[in-house]
Structure 1
Amino acid sequence: MSDLLYSETEDDLRAAVRSLLTDRAGHQELLGRIETDSPYVPGLWKALAGDMGAAGLLVPEKLGGQGASHREAAVVLEELGRAATPAPYLTSAVVATETLLALAGDSAPATELLSGLATGGTVAVLAVPLTASPYADPATAFTVTGVADSATASTATGAADPATASTVTGVADAVAADVLLVPRADGLYAVPAGEATVEPQTPLDLTRPLARVTTEAGTGTRLAGPDEARAAVRRGLLAGAGLLASEQLGLAEWCLEETVRHTRERHQFNRPVGSFQALKHRMAQLWLDLVGARAAARAAADALATGSPDAPLTVAVAQAYCSKVAVRAAEECVQLHGGIGMTWEHPAHLALKRAKSDQLALGSAGRHQDAIAALVDLPAPA
């Protein structure tokens, strides 16, 4: 039986993370930073990942981590989602860490890299598109070899040769990475960011930077062979998809709370607009959606934490449901704020863009629904 309730430890962790983000990375701070070259708040990652120890929650104590579980990491992501915080937590502390944990017993380089990730001193990013799902083959689906523009890309060693260079577009948080985990046909490689070309792209969600990553064959340290690499990458992406549901939950909760606050304060005809029946019904329906999203997200985090054999199914259910709830909550937030919700000065657009980006991240709702059908042996109609 899944435990969907928050423990006292998880509540304490939530309070600490929320306090840090309120002090250092509030919405007004982010609104000012997204117009700069980097949305990352200086010093925030060190405080969150290193000083607070959040980066090592999934890493065993013997490897320098906190020895916690996906449940605690889910709480951190809920708070990061509430604040739409630009931080490589999902990509480094969850996806890359889980990928390396799958190899830690057999690969000394992977174990060594994990120790750096656990302290927050190293940021690693799996070099796959943000839209990569756990159900694709990393050896063939994520890497484009010999693309036309790679011939003109500048790398640390000179011009890239289309015959040997590989390029992946839409890699989240690659601009913040110290190490890139690159899936290739013959295995998984750890490539220092200085040996790759990382070209920033313009994303919809300005709080989660995307980049085009070009690496040359022969660069980096081989961490695993092809079979082990496929299993490790799937594990990383599955954990990322499961905990992304918690980020979407936190984002949707903020949208509802902010909307309720605004409609209580905003008056028309001498009455709070939140007292109008039509708006009350819309917010009540959104609250019901949030209750379901919380149950789905918590079930996914608990299944990953306990190593449940039903984890793939639970994760797919959580993503198929929570991604839609987050988008709907953000849309309602913008609409029910009226004119101010349409402006750049109000943070509602940060939530909407993050929700739309998350809707495609780590597999669309449709991909997860297809996975549910396959896992329960319920094929779609011909």
Structure 2
Amino acid sequence: MILNPTEDQLELRTAVARFVAEVTPMPAVRRAMDTEPGYDPAAWKRLCGQLGIPALAISEEGGGAGFGVTELTVAMQECGAGLVPGPLLGSGVIAALVLDAVGDRTVLPSVVAGTTIASLAQDPSLTVDGGAVFGTVSEVLDAMTADVFVVAAGNSVYTVDATDPAVSRHALVTLDPTRRQGAVQFDGAAATLVGSSDGLAAGLDRATVALAAEQLGAMQRCLDLTVDYAKVREQFGRKIGSFQAVKQGLADVYTSVELASAAVAYAAWTADHEPENLAIAASVAKAYVGPEAFEAASQMVQYHGGIGYTWEHDAHLYYKRIKTTETMLGSADDHLGRIAAHLLDGIEAERIH
């Protein structure tokens, strides 16, 4: 097992970081927040065409580059650090990985290319009867800009044209202004069968690792911003970084970042080399990174003092993004429960044998 990045992966990280700094810097993120779609379509086109991030972990048969989740996590960390807005997570990661896992070869190539925006709609209330889907799903990523919905219902996965008259959607007011969500109602919309839901869990686990990587990137940026501020902010005639409480607090955050990095790297390696163990590795990463990233964001706001609470400072944007992603694709409690069930099953099996 080798968790250190390769030379190619380091080059990928540099390329993505340069793209984020030049194409989607924080002033551009703020401008995108005020637009109807919530992102710059031209920047999204470049992200897909120039960097090909959605294609990284997608099979060549599905129109992807055929690399691995490890490469995807490298890119997602830099995108998380820059709070890149747009349909990257919802369409380019979650929907794309699910479509690839269930064997779609029709919609997926255009999703990977960024010309089609797909959004996963998954809820126990969804039913499909006679080729028509019924039900309502709240908190759907990119619901308002989606061209197609990937619907998981029963034991199958379907695609639904978002422009179908039987599909209604409305935007939600959410905590994170850099990532849009909506509620979608299906009232007999035509559903095209993609395949069995057998691969759905694997696709979502791979997406969970990518999301944890995005959280890690934002977490690292929170630490970097806070350390830089602690070096220049003065209180009582001293830099606040010289105070023992501040040093210890930031050291704790640094430790959490290192542990989170290891958890994400291991989960990504598992996805690429031992997929049979991915479920637990993905849960470990998400269960750890989510709460620790939020703690890092909270510390950033606190150590920045009054300026950390202002709209003009970027601290609140990281705080809101990290808090929102903490519950996406399962909360820490959900994943800890999954880990516990796995351990208990192992104990029970040991007793039986």
TM-score by length of 2: 0.91
1:313 aligns with 2:284: no
Q: In the alignment, what sits opposite 2:343?
A: 376
Contact kept, 8 Å, 1:57 with 1:118, in 2: the verdict is no
Equivalent residues in 2 for 1:1-382, closer than 5 Å:
1=1, 3-104=2-103, 110-128=104-122, 141=124, 143=126, 165-185=134-154, 187-195=156-164, 196-224=167-195, 228-229=196-197, 231-377=198-344
Cα distance in 1, alignment partners of residues 315 and 127 from structure 2: 36
2:27 is matched by which residue type in structure 1? Q
SS in 2 for 1:265: coil
Report the CA distance shift for 1:257/1:142 in structure 2 as closer, same or farther (over 3 A): farther
Deviations 1:68-104 (A, max 9, x none): 1101111111111111111222222222222222232
SS in 1 for 2:326: helix
Higher mean C-alpha displacement, 266-275 vs 353-362: 266-275
Higher mean C-alpha displacement, 357-366 vs 183-192: 183-192
Q: How many residues align?
A: 342
Compute the displacement of 1:318 (Å). Answer: 0.6
Q: In the alignment, what sits opposite 1:160?
A: none
Compute the displacement of 1:218 (Å). Answer: 4.8
Report the CA distance shift for 1:186/1:103 in structure 2 as closer, same or farther (over 3 A): closer
SS in 2 for 1:290: helix
Compute the displacement of 1:118 (Å). Answer: 2.5
Compute the displacement of 1:187 (Å). Answer: 2.7
Compute the displacement of 1:379 (Å). Answer: 9.8
Deviations 1:235-272 (A, max 9, x none): 22211212211111101100000000011111223321
Higher mean C-alpha displacement, 233-242 vs 356-365: 233-242
Compute the displacement of 1:67 (Å). Answer: 1.1
Contact kept, 8 Å, 2:168 with 2:185, in 1: the verdict is yes
Compute the displacement of 1:62 (Å). Answer: 4.1
SS in 2 for 1:204: coil
Cα distance in 1, alignment partners of residues 53 and 118 from structure 2: 15
Cα distance in 2, alignment partners of residues 349 and 373 from structure 1: 34
2:277 is matched by which residue type in structure 1? D
Higher mean C-alpha displacement, 285-294 vs 268-277: 268-277
Contact kept, 8 Å, 1:168 with 1:214, in 2: the verdict is yes
Contact kept, 8 Å, 1:117 with 1:124, in 2: the verdict is yes
Q: In the alignment, what sits opposite 2:351?
A: none
Cα distance in 1, alignment partners of residues 34 and 76 from structure 2: 24
Cα distance in 2, alignment partners of residues 121 and 18 from structure 1: 23
Cα distance in 2, alignment partners of residues 260 and 378 from structure 1: 44
Unpaired runs of 5+ in structure 1? 105-109, 129-137, 146-162
Unpaired runs of 5+ in structure 2? 348-353
SS in 1 for 2:64: coil
2:118 is matched by which residue type in structure 1? A
2:311 is matched by which residue type in structure 1? W
Cα distance in 2, alignment partners of residues 73 and 166 from structure 1: 33
Cα distance in 2, alignment partners of residues 338 and 378 from structure 1: 47
2:110 is matched by which residue type in structure 1? G
1:376 is matched by which residue type in structure 2? L
Contact kept, 8 Å, 1:125 with 1:181, in 2: the verdict is yes
Deviations 1:81-140 (A, max 9, x none): 111111222222222222222232xxxxx2121221222222211113xxxxxxxxx6xx
Deviations 1:209-241 (A, max 9, x none): 1101122335131212xxx22x23222221121
TM-score by length of 1: 0.84
Contact kept, 8 Å, 2:61 with 2:105, in 1: the verdict is no
